[in-house]
Amino acid sequence: MPALLLALALGVDPPALAEWLRKGDSRAERITGVAKSADVRLFFAQLDDDEPEEAVLRYDGDQKVEALVFDRTAAGWVVAGKFSDWWNYKPEYRDGFIELRAVTRAGRAELIVRTHSGGTEEDAIDIEIFQLRAGKLVAVLKGNEYTSKMEHPSGKVVTAVTRFEYPAAGVVVMRGAINCRAMRWAGEVFVESPCP
């Protein structure tokens, strides 16, 4: 993250920044690079071990959607990370861009970020699952969701979709038409596990 962004965002109250983005206040552009946003969402969630909830601010800009993740410290709010989805951008990408979900343990959410990337045949979405540890966002799982064409044994070309599923606490399943990969949380990291 640029030092300037970090410095500007230190002490900035996420609800205030959300208002500035909605109204087109020049302070919003200095912090985010976006002058005004028509779709601003502010989420609070418990992302780490300290008591105050963290904040995630999602806003759209010119052909992109972005999110700032704020950690609350004794010195005030600090930006822990910034994410952006812009490749071949469509407004509906906003909905799945940021997800806050307790993947590995109850009462504490992980941050799931879904971004689009280039491809000719496939519609691919890169997925990263982050945990907030001591103010730093640590990626604990990476993968892809995608739609691809494949030939069925009958000779017919079928569309195969692979999606992330969260069937139980600590379990992530990436299931496609003919493939399945499962990961189980082992306390510090995800490990390969039999597909349920």
Pick between residue 50 and residue 128 the one whose CB is nearest to Ca ion. Answer: 50
Chain centroid to CA 117: 14
* C-alpha triplet 74, 67, 107: angle, nearest 5°: 60
Does residue 110 interact with Ca ion by CB under 5 A? Answer: no
Is residue 142 within 8 Å of residue 133, measured between CB atoms?
no
The strand order across the sheet containing 123-133 reads 98-105, 108-117, 123-133, 136-151, 157-168, 171-175, 180-185, 190-193
Pick between residue 85 and residue 110 the one whose CB is nearest to Ca ion. Answer: 110
Shortest Å, Cβ 80 to Ca ion: 11
Shortest Å, Cβ 47 to Ca ion: 6
Is residue 34 within 8 Å of residue 96, measured between CB atoms?
no
Number of residues that bind Ca ion (CB under 5 A): 2
Q: Is the dihedral of CA 112, 116, 119, 122 positive or negative?
A: positive
Pick between residue 24 and residue 135 the one whose CB is nearest to Ca ion. Answer: 135
Chain centroid to CA 46: 15
Is residue 150 within 8 Å of residue 177, measured between CB atoms?
yes
Pick between residue 50 and residue 126 the one whose CB is nearest to Ca ion. Answer: 50
Pick between residue 46 and residue 147 the one whose CB is nearest to Ca ion. Answer: 46
Kindly identify the residues of this chain, within the stretch 9-68, that bind Ca ion according to CB under 5 A.
Answer: 48, 50
Shortest Å, Cβ 93 to Ca ion: 28
The footprint of Ca ion (CB under 5 A) covers 48, 50
